[in-house]
Structure 1
Amino acid sequence: MNSQKILVLGATGYIGSGTVKTLANLKANVTAGVRDPSKAKELLISGAQVIKANMDQNQTELAKILSNYSSVYLVTPGNIDRTQITINAIQAAKQANVQYLLVVSVTCADNQDVLFGRQFNPIEKELKASGLKYGILRLPMFIDNVWGNNEPIRTHNTFYGPIDGDKKFVTVAVQDAALAAAIILQNPSKHIGKTYTITSDYKSSDDQAQAFSQALGKQIKYVNATFEGTKQALLKFMPEWQVDGVLELYKLIENNDFSQENYSNDFQQITGSKPTTNLSWMYQNFKAF
């Protein structure tokens, strides 16, 4: 099972580093491809190999690197040009005739009316047309985004968002997305041509507040900060194009869009494990809050 030589490209973000560490923990033969290896010491310590490789480098050069690996995971970057960058890497993988290519996508990839849909739909199409054996991991919003509310939860027992507290939506814990990817990459033959949606919980913001209250042993409340207020807060963490994309996801939630409400059992089917609920996530991280 662990004979696969696995390369994770885009290995320094939430999903990439989480997957590399999970694979290393499972004693897989995993290499992290990063732009600057000197900034990836944490991945080395976890037991992974680290090389300089990134999705937007010269296609022929990248193909040479990819040809050394049997399973490759493209973790689509948080870059405004991510469509073209990821397509470049898919074409390099085709040139290298990679045995299996797994790519991160989003739950709204079929929706051309939103930015993330317009970015990810061409990536999925390119992958499907590549002739390679492939898999797609569609992810919703991360429960781990609660880290952005760390200070108000610690100091004011409050967290904020742009929608009403009773609107339910799906989330994924980064550790669940990482485990699903790790299991697929180690044994890809069962996952050829599959599009999976990895979800961990389906709750409203008010439900989340209850879960956080239980885990932290203090009353946490959720406050609707409006779209404009949320935009100003998010601009501290990410560029404006990305903030606008995230706010479009919240608009989809507000409109009960299927892409934000579809709770899937794919995680359990792939891993045989129960997903990480909002409650169990906060129990794991309560010391920081």
Structure 2
Amino acid sequence: MIVVTTPTGRIGRHVLGHVLDGAEKVRVIVRDPERLPAPVRERVDVVRGSHDDPGVVAEALAGAGSVFWLIPPNPRAQSVQDHVIDFVRPLCTAIGDHGVERVVAVSTLGRGITRNAGLVSATYAMDDLIESTGVHYRSLCPPAFMENLLSQVETIRSRGTFFAPISADRRFLTCAVRDIAATAAALLLDGSWTGQDSVPIVGPDLLSYEEMAQIMTEVLQRPVRFQQISGEAFTAALRRAGVSEAWAGGGAAIMAATDRGTYVAEAGSPGPTAPTSFRQWCEEVLEPAVG
């Protein structure tokens, strides 16, 4: 049996769609089963609740062979590190109690070289804890998500502008979440792999926000520009939106790490492993969202 967490989320719903095409039985952990499409609910075993709840996780992982694990964001969390660890401990306990064979989790690119990067650094702690159980493990390591731009759809639509505390000419790697999901599903449906390893998921482009703005202009057929803002302004905007001080600081730390070159293709960095280009993503995802 395959267990899928966050089955209504940005990545999890794609993972669920892929694994339902396989022969394995599928179980999901979901807070609100009504958010699952009715045809999907009829095809899965549902455990209601959150996967930071040890009882929920124990119920869901009983009889499971493979697990897809993704820690959902909580912009109101008072500690980024505690938020991550609270979601990992129940998994680690259940791995030992129920003999789970394989875990596939979403981590991030840059493990081993990145420090003081907010949620990114906390995610590396997740990897360490899962690996300490001895379970067969694949840590999916994407760079920045293209979908992060969807949080600024309204300003792109109304003002033709998007913002970030990153240098306009800083090039960095990205990927589309559908490529993360496809990689995760392929691993979940494959019962032959063993050991513990990282799996980079890197799109074919190395672009700056300035270059992304040009592609967006061409695809959307309207002027789009990028405006760099300070880390302080970025954090203040998040705080005004109700984000906790810890989460806002963590977001700013990720941006600062990106500006330092965390997601840059350098010697020893992986080449493209995911097919979706930024232009293709803009055509298929951003343009319909902007309207």
Q: Does 1:70 align with 2:65?
A: yes
1:44 paired residue among 40, 45, 50: 40
- The offset of 1:49, in angstroms, is 4.5
- The offset of 1:229, in angstroms, is 2.6
**Aligned equivalents of 1:120, 1:126: Cα separation in 2:** 10
- The offset of 1:238, in angstroms, is 4.5
- The offset of 1:137, in angstroms, is 0.9
Q: TM-score with structure 1 length normalisation?
A: 0.84
Over 3 Å counting, the alpha-carbon distance change for 1:238 and 1:21 in structure 2 is farther
Over 3 Å counting, the alpha-carbon distance change for 1:11 and 1:164 in structure 2 is same
Contact 1:180 1:267 in 2 (8 A): no
Any stretches of 5+ residues in structure 1 without a counterpart?
Answer: 269-274
- The offset of 1:128, in angstroms, is 1.5
**Aligned equivalents of 1:177, 1:243: Cα separation in 2:** 25
- The offset of 1:154, in angstroms, is 0.9
**Aligned equivalents of 1:254, 1:215: Cα separation in 2:** 26
Over 3 Å counting, the alpha-carbon distance change for 1:159 and 1:95 in structure 2 is same
**Comparing both chains, which one has the higher relative contact order based on Cα–Cα distances under 8 Å and sequence gaps of 6 or more?**
2
Over 3 Å counting, the alpha-carbon distance change for 1:118 and 1:219 in structure 2 is closer
Higher helix content, 1 or 2: 1
Identity %: 22
Larger CA deviation: 18-27 vs 209-218: 18-27
Contact 1:141 1:171 in 2 (8 A): yes
1:164 paired residue among 163, 167, 183: 167
Q: In the TM superposition, what are the counterparts of 1:265-280 in structure 2 within 5 Å?
A: 265=271, 267-268=273-274, 275-280=275-280
- The offset of 1:23, in angstroms, is 2.7
Question: Which residue does the alignment assign to 1:94?
Answer: 96
Question: Which residue does the alignment assign to 1:185?
Answer: 188
Question: Which residue does the alignment assign to 1:264?
Answer: 270
Question: Which residue does the alignment assign to 1:216?
Answer: 220
- The offset of 1:99, in angstroms, is 1.7
- The offset of 1:28, in angstroms, is 5.8
Larger CA deviation: 184-193 vs 87-96: 184-193
1:115 paired residue among 93, 118, 124: 118
Task: Return structure 1 stretches of 4+ with deviation > 4 angstroms.
Answer: 25-28, 45-49
Question: Which residue does the alignment assign to 1:203?
Answer: 207
Any stretches of 5+ residues in structure 2 without a counterpart?
Answer: 75-79
Question: Which residue does the alignment assign to 1:283?
Answer: 283
1:229 paired residue among 207, 213, 233: 233
Q: Does 1:11 align with 2:7?
A: yes
Q: TM-score with structure 2 length normalisation?
A: 0.84
Look up the SS of the partner of 1:69 in the other structure.
Answer: coil
1:188-220, Cα deviation, whole Å (9 max, x unpaired):
423642211212232100111111112112221
1:212-234, Cα deviation, whole Å (9 max, x unpaired):
11211222111112223322334
**Aligned equivalents of 1:46, 1:249: Cα separation in 2:** 39
Contact 2:66 2:188 in 1 (8 A): yes
- The offset of 1:75, in angstroms, is 0.6
Over 3 Å counting, the alpha-carbon distance change for 1:197 and 1:246 in structure 2 is farther
Q: Does 1:244 align with 2:245?
A: no
Contact 1:170 1:202 in 2 (8 A): yes
